[in-house]
């Protein structure tokens, strides 16, 4: 059994994962963030590079939503574990609350999305007007998931809200779902080492 643990997450959740790991003082855990692309089948080259880097000295666990799970299941030559997510945002919100936000037409935003906003838009492939039209038909409001200890790029958030032309709501989160998922994975890893 390998003595180190490497966790891979989508970069949409980078600020939250980094803050949590630092605040909980999880030592000896390497964390890498792969580039998100929820709307297209994820190209696995970057993730494969990360896995290859880490598997020589660490157990690799990838937190992956549907955008990445299928591609990862094709990789059989390297040993790693997939921690499947039905909806990636379940890392930040309890299931009932997540479903409630989505049911009323909320489009979720994170610090990571703000940080990589130009890339997010590029991946969508919309023109500015097409983006506005599409989201006006499918979305009632933007819901920014904020944690009181994690700084927010207010300029980027205002820019995104303006681009969408939709109301913006801030929803304070606790990171308990994320902490529980990470702690569960760490405990399972530790128990297999004994």
Answer yes or no: are the C-beta atoms of 150 and 15 closer than 8 Å: yes
Strand 29-34 and strand 4-10: pairing?
A: parallel
What pLDDT does residue 136 have?
A: 85
How is the chain split among helix, strand and coil, in percent rounded to 5? 50, 20, 30
What pLDDT does residue 170 have?
A: 96
What pLDDT does residue 110 have?
A: 95
CATH topology for 4-90+175-193 is Rossmann fold (3.40.50)
Which of 65, 40, 62, 38 has its CA nearest to residue 50? 62
pTM score: 0.88
Residue 6: its H or E element: strand 4-10
For residue 155, name the pLDDT band (cuts at 50, 70, 90). very high
Domain ranges in the chain with CATH number 3.40.50: 4-90+175-193
* Other C-beta atoms lying within 10 Å of the C-beta of residue 193: 11
- Of 52-56, 66-70, 80-84, 154-158, the range with the highest mean pLDDT is 154-158
User: Tens digit of pLDDT for each residue in 27-77?
Assistant: 778 898 988 666 555 555 677 777 777 777 678 888 988 777 767 766 766
Q: What is the DSSP letter of 13?
A: G
């Amino acid at each position: 059994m390998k003595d180190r643990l490497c966790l891979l997450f989508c970069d949409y959740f980078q600020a939250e994962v980094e803050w949590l790991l630092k605040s909980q003082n999880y030592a000896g855990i390497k964390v890498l963030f792969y580039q998100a692309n929820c709307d297209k089948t994820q190209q696995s080259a970057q993730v494969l590079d990360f896995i290859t880097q880490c598997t020589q000295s660490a157990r690799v666990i990838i937190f992956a939503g549907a955008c990445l799970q299928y591609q990862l299941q094709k990789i059989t030559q390297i040993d790693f574990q997939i921690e499947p997510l039905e909806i990636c945002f379940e890392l930040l919100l309890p299931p009932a609350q997540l479903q409630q936000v989505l049911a009323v037409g909320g489009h979720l935003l994170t610090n990571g999305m703000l940080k990589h906003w130009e890339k997010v838009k590029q991946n969508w492939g919309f023109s500015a007007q097409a983006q506005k039209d599409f989201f006006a038909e499918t979305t009632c409001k933007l819901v920014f998931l904020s944690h009181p200890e994690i700084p927010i790029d207010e300029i980027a958030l205002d820019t995104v809200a303006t681009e969408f032309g939709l109301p913006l709501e801030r929803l304070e989160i606790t990171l308990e779902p994320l902490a529980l998922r990470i702690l569960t994975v760490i405990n399972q890893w530790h128990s297999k080492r004994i």
